[in-house]
Structure 1
Amino acid sequence: MGVAVAQERCSQKPLSTADGWDLPSCLKNEIKRECQRLWQVIEMIMEVEAEQR
Structure 2
Amino acid sequence: MHVTREPGGRRRLTDISMLRRGASGRVQAVPVWQLERGLTEHADAFRGLLNDRMPA
- The structure with more strand, counted as a fraction of residues: 2
Name which structure has the greater RCO, CA cutoff 8 Å, separation 6+.
1
TM-score of the two chains, using structure 2 as the length reference: 0.32
- The structure with more helix, counted as a fraction of residues: 1
TM-score of the two chains, using structure 1 as the length reference: 0.34
